Amino acid sequence: MIRYSVLDLAPIKQGEEAADAFHHSRELAQHAEALGYHRFWLAEHHNMPGIASAATAVVIGHVAAGTRSIRVGSGGIMLPNHAPLMVAEQFGTLNALFPGRIDLGLGRAPGTDMRTARALRRNLSGEADSFPQDVVELQQWFAPAREGQPVRAVPGAGMEIPIWLLGSSLYSAQLAAALGLPFAFASHFAPQAMLQALEIYREGFRPSAQLEKPYSMAAMNLFAAESDEEGARLFTSLQQQFLNLRRGTPGKLPPPAEDVPALQREAEWAGVGNSLSCSAVGSRETVKRQIAEFLERTQVDELMLTGMIYDHDARLRSYSIGAEVCRELIREPVAC
C-alpha cells in the first residue's frame, strides 16, 4: 500500500519571522498527523532568508514534541556539513526523546552556496567522494557498542534509526542500492533524472540488515484548492521564489502574484517550469488526476508532498485535499 507523507521547509513568509515559521510547521505537522500522513520531514538549508530549518535536528525536536504518532525526520541532513558522530548523537538524542518515530534522511549536497559552505567549516576538497564512507561511518555509530570501544555515540549506539538516502541524481540512487537503504528522489525541484534513478535503484538493490527489498519515495509539489484558478494562484508564490533563487536574490516566501501574465513573460520562466514540473496544482479533481499519473509513472512505494503556500490556512486546506485524494487513490489499484 502506498504511503503519503509531508516535506516541510519551515517557510518564512514576507512580513513574518522564523518564530512564525516554526509555529506554522508544528501546526502543519499536527494537521498532517490527524489526516493520516505517515511522516513529516524537514530539510537542511543555510543562508536562505525564506527557509527556517537550518538547525534541522532542533526543529525536528520541536515538531516531534507537538505530535504523538507521525514519524518525524530529516529530508534531509546534508551529511558533508557534519561529522557523522555528531549526527549520530543528535538523532540518538531525538530517538531517546521520541522512541520509534525518528527518521534520518541524508543528502550529499551542501544545501547552500560555496561561501556559506566554507562558513560551516566544511572541508571543501573532495567532500563528494567521502559521502559513501561518511554514510557507512554513521551506520557504525548506530551499531551496538563493542566492549572496549574507545569512542561511542551517547546516545545513539544500538539504536535502530532508519537511514534514508536522498538525491536528485543517479549517484545517490546507486549508493542507496549498494547499501540496501531506502531512497527518496527530489523530484519536486529536480525531476530530470527521476525515472532513470528509480530504475537504477530498483535493479541494483542489495538487501541489507535494514531493508530486505527496495523502497522508493518521490516528492511532488502540492497546491490544491477549491478551483484550478485558485490552485494556480497559490502556486505563483513558489514560482516567484524559484525565479528569485535563479537570479541569486533569494528572499522570504512572497504572496501570490497579482499579475500572472507578467510573471510568465520573465526570461527564466521556462527553467522554473522544468524544475517544478512534478507538481499537482488545481482543484481536487485536477490534483487527483495529476497525482495518479505521477504514481503510475514512478511506481514508488511512498509519495511525499510539499507545498510552499503563503497563506497558512490555504496550506492546511491543500494538505487536507491531498490526504483525501491519496486515500482514494490507495483504494483504486489502477492508480498504484
Strands 302-306 and 279-282: unpaired
> What tens digit of pLDDT does each residue of 111-152 get?
566 777 777 765 655 444 789 999 999 999 999 999 999 999
pLDDT tens-digit profile of 201-246?
A: 999 999 999 999 999 999 999 999 999 999 999 999 999 999 999 8
Q: Are 282 and 293 in contact (CB under 8 A)?
A: no
Confidence of residue 335 (pLDDT cuts 50, 70, 90): very low
Q: List C-alpha distances in Å: 63 to 69, 155, 233, 326.
A: 11, 20, 29, 23
Residue 247 has pLDDT above 70, yes or no: yes
Rg, Å, the chain Cα set:
19
Distance CA 288, CA 290 (A): 6
A 10 A CB-CB count for 38 gives 17
- Cell numbers representing residue 189 in the block: 525541484
What's the CATH number of domain 3-116+132-226+276-331, 3.20.20.30, 3.40.50.2020, 3.40.50.2000, 3.20.20.140? 3.20.20.30
Q: What whole-number distance in Å separates Cα of residue 81 and Cα of residue 294?
A: 32
285-333 confidence digits (pLDDT tens): 999 999 999 999 999 999 999 999 999 999 999 999 999 999 999 886 5
Q: Structure pTM?
A: 0.94
Structural domain boundaries in the chain? 3-116+132-226+276-331
Task: Give the 3-state secondary structure of residue 231.
Answer: helix
Give dist(CA 277, CA 293) in Å, integer. Answer: 13
Size of the chain, expressed as the number of residues it contains: 336
Q: Give Cα separations from 195 to 173, 273, 292, 335 (angstroms).
A: 11, 18, 16, 17
Cα gap 31→316, rounded to integer Å: 7
